Amino acid sequence: MDQYVSDANIAWSAAKSDAASPQPHAFSSDTVGELFLRSALRHAARPALWVDGDTISYGDLLSLAVRIAHALLGAGFGRGTTRCAVLGNRKLTDFAGILGASLARCTYVPLNARHPTQRLAQIMRDAEAQALVVDHQHLDHARAILEALPHPVLVLLPDSPTAPDWAITTSRHLFFARGDLPAPRIDQMPPGNPEDGGYLLFTSGSTGAPKGVLVRNRNAMPYLRSVAARYAPSPDDRCTQLFDLTFDLSVHDLFLCWGAGATLYRVPDNARFAPRDFVRRHGLTMWFSVPSAAATMLGLRALRPGDFPSLRLGLFCGEALPKRLALAFAAAAPNAVIDNLYGPTEATIALTAWRLPHDPRALEALPEVLPIGDPLPNQAALPVMASGDPAPVDEEGELCLAGSQVTDGYWRRPDLTRERFVRFGWDTEDRVWYRTGDRARLTPDHGLVFLGRLDRQVKIAGHRVELQEVEAVLHRAADANAAAIAWPLGPDGLARGIVGFVSGSAHTDDELRQACRDALPLYAVPSDIRRVDDWPLNNSGKTDHGRLRALLETPPEETSPEETSPEETSSCHTT
């Protein structure tokens, strides 16, 4: 790694002279690439990133990024229309790859090395990605993906001294190892355009295949400006980086921090379970995670009163925030403002926010699942009734979102887009509204309150899973009736995992699990497979999920021939 940084070392004299003159605020940039460039030039000597024990300055991170950017530009990519995939696991090269793609006006497509290669290859194909940045630890994954790809790809290996031996056997792809990358120059960087795609993310799709959401810079920048104004990050801030780069909340991590000249701390994988010592040692000031992360810390007794005096901000997003967790976190971080953010990928990171009050009396009056509050500036969020009219105050409806953060729809899926991105006759501004599928009501005291889902989407530790996608995989593998149920639903409505049901399949449980592991991210793989002889159907001849769920209420001995311990039996009743 050291050599990787030092051989990219360039003189920053030009940058320094720029820094002396007044510069526009990084958050006023048109694109995330421009935001980073402005910030890096202003804060060149300051630390931008802590990763794997190394601190990388803004100048060095920019050097790495511009070499990647020039390789992409040299191949004729950029201009806002090329997708560049980035494969890895939150390593320095992955961060540099995202920035390089952004500087070159390419849309970045994050690939999580922990997901099955079959799924990653499908995403590369669906995204029509023409370039791939890979860190040296994930070359094997890259090989499996590239061998399955029909179209040629420019493969950038910024931290590999040479291309791997197998590169010659996949001759349709072009490989650039570290030494092949162009020298770092910050001139000739193309000015970005707000219309440029910022990132393309794939989320669970109910039809059995992941669906893509293209988030343009004109969607992402309004969000970043809103949170920059709300949280006023400064170069002295030290921010957590806990989210996988395939999770859009990581976009907040990276660009809120870097736009401010602050330092991003990539929390090591092991410490993600209980980042207590990590946060204390580095004196981190800004925290952002899913509520499940706090739940794990609480369970490990690593979230105690006064644990985090350095934190000035605690943000949660990605799933419902239980009151008991927020209160435990507030006690652990007595100097922090606690905000609950809400928003789907389709409406860019988060679109509403709610602040935990300090007044004990106000805390007492809060519901067990905390409110999601009010829309960010220039955005709109309204529960809409089945009739298509806005729900009156305190009445339930489907939460619909409008504003500059709402994206254009699903990637190459006009059918899905028409279904979910709609206009309403009553809207005098004739905006496009994204129908979230979330049930909510508007309350006079707390703004919006989340009530659950209208469909079968569930969150597993913040990850979005359409149960139909799991069912499609299970059905193909079992060649029989198959269903997936989220289980158990705790008092907070949070599911811990997924149970798969099959009837009369000739395949073993192990074969079914393996098929799921080959096709789905680990969090979507059923932790348990149950056999059901008498498949429950409802009146319309479809699988009756309610009755399958009821089977889970009964001791597993009655539903499964597998040996089950008494502890497992009782857990079905107690949770």
Partner 1 sequence: MPHDMTTLSGSPALPLLSAALAKRLRKDGRGSTKLDPDTDLIEYGLIDSQALLDMILEAEEGSGLQFDAEGMDFESGVTLRRLAAAFAPA
Q: Which residues bind partner 1 (CB under 8 A)?
A: 114, 268-271, 273-278, 292-293, 296, 299-302, 461, 496-497, 509-510, 513-514, 522-523, 527-528, 565, 567
**Minimum gap (Å) between residue 555 Cβ and partner 1:** 16
> End-to-end distance of the chain based on CA atoms, in angstroms?
46
Q: Long-range contacts of range 267-271, CB-CB < 8 Å, 24 or more positions apart?
A: 267/240, 267/241, 267/242, 268/52, 269/89
Q: Are 382 and 398 in contact (CB under 8 A)?
A: no
Give CA 217 to chain center in angstroms: 17
Least Cβ distance, residue 520 to partner 1 (angstroms): 14
User: Given CA atoms 292, 294, 298, 302 in this order, what sign does their dihedral have?
Assistant: positive
Q: DSSP letters along 164-214, please?
A: -GGGGGSTTSEEEEGGGSPPP--TTPPPP-TTSEEEEEEE--TTSS-EEEE
What minimum distance in Å lies between the beta carbon of 97 and partner 1?
23
Is the backbone peptide bond immediately before 47 cis, with ω within 30 degrees of 0?
no
d(CA 204, CA 470): 9
Partners of 537 in the beta sheet?
543
Angle between helices 92-103 and 32-42 (to 10 degrees): 110
User: In angstroms, what CA-CA distances link 557 with 470, 496, 508, 533, 547?
Assistant: 24, 21, 18, 14, 17
Phi-psi region of 554 (alpha: psi -120 to 50; beta: other; left: phi over 0): beta
Burial 122-141 (b: 16+ CB within 10 A, else e): bbbebbebbbbbbbbebbeb
How does DSSP assign 153-168, residue by residue? -EEEETT-SS--GGGG
DSSP H or E run through 418: helix 414-420
φ/ψ of 554, rounded to 5, equals -90, 155
Nearer to partner 1, 52 or 395 (CB): 52
Cβ neighbours of residue 434 under 8 Å, at least 6 residues apart? Answer: 344, 346, 347, 400, 401, 402, 406, 407, 420, 421
- Nearest distance from C-beta of residue 273 to partner 1, angstroms: 5
| CA–CA gap between residue 465 and residue 570 (Å, rounded) | 27
Report in angstroms how near the CB of residue 270 gets to partner 1 at its nearest.
5
As a whole number of angstroms, the distance between CA 107 and CA 111 comes to 13
